[in-house]
Amino acid sequence: MAAREHWHDFFGKDYLLFSEVILNEERTRFETGQLLSLLNLPEGASILDLGCGQGRIGVPLALRGYQVTGIDASDTLLDEARRRAQASGAEAVFKSLDMRELDFADEFDAVLNLGTAFGYLENEEENQDILHRVYRALKLGGQLIQETENRDFKLLYSAKKTWDMMNGCPVWSRREFDSVTGRWNEEMTWFDNGELKSSRLNLRLYTAAELLRLHGNAGLDVKGIYGGFDLSPLTTSSPRMLLHLEKKTD
């Protein structure tokens, strides 16, 4: 039996607790508005939230009248997404599915891949295949928005060791980057009611040029590339990176 991939354990209850500090309501409102401005979709358009997590973006979009399908491989986060949808009255579908099993054809007006929900797989061919699957899932002229880490910024400005307060809990982080594999490894440690706990984040950090090549290989054309949701130009000083792409129509 294949070993359990580490990211299954990372995206659990502890992630949900700590991520709410960063992914707060103000940030969610801003990012949702920016997405709608970029996509310019009619009400009722179909949107696939790929790596939807706790429904932070999918639920607000559903409340605005879009047909939202969210997929994620974390049952913990999906349970929270469904709870939020039910509590708010949003009609959205949230499914447990590994991105590698994505099997839609010409179904969505837009696909969203937000919050660094790409690069966790160690097999580069699988990452490329996911983008081919995204291409097939989109209707002709359909759009993809991918928002992730800006590798240049992370390598230049991220401290190797830090203490952070997350939801009132001190968290110790130790970070390393492998220049050969392009993978970022971050080990986090904290105390929870006297119990020492830890978590590990490991993912492939892509440059903008590498991502554009992968998307191009999948048949997706770039419409714009930005330094995050504020739509500023992408530079080495941009903490985040946002790609806006389109399924070729010819």
- pLDDT tens digit string along 53-84? 999 999 999 999 999 999 999 999 999 999 99
Lowest mean pLDDT among 79-88, 189-198, 207-216, 220-229: 189-198
pLDDT averaged over every residue in the chain: 89
Answer whether residue 215 shows pLDDT above 60.
yes
Mean pLDDT on 198-226: 94
Q: Tokens representing 173?
A: 């982080």
Q: 0.85 exceeded by the pTM?
A: yes
**C-alpha span between 146 and 155 (Å, rounded):** 20
pLDDT at 213: 97
Hunting for tokens 């806006």 — which residue is that?
Answer: 244
Answer whether residue 17 shows pLDDT above 70.
no
Q: Tokens representing 72?
A: 């994620």
pLDDT at 2: 44
Higher-confidence residue: 33 or 17?
A: 33
What are the pLDDT digits (tens) for 82-106?
Answer: 999 999 999 999 999 999 999 999 9
**Domains of the chain, CATH where assigned:** 7-149+207-247 (3.40.50.150), 154-201 (no CATH)
What are the pLDDT digits (tens) for 176-201?
Answer: 999 999 999 988 887 777 777 777 88
Query: pLDDT tier at 18 (50, 70, 90 boundaries)?
Result: low
Q: Tokens representing 250?
A: 């010819």
pLDDT at 16: 63
| β-strand pairing of 67-72 with 92-96 | parallel
Q: What does the chain look like in DSSP terms, one character per residue?
A: -PPPPTHHHHSSHHHHHHHHHHS-HHHHHHHHHHHHHHH-PPTT-EEEEET-TTTTTHHHHHHTT-EEEEEES-HHHHHHHHHHHHHHT--EEEEE--GGG----S-EEEEEE-SS-S---S-HHHHHHHHHHHHHHEEEEEEEEEEEE-HHHHHHH--SEEEEEETTEEEEEEEEEETTTTEEEEEEEEEETTEEEEEEEEEEPPPHHHHHHHHHHTTEEEEEEESSTT-PPP-TT-SEEEEEEEE---
Assess contact for 1 and 65: CB atoms under 8 A: no
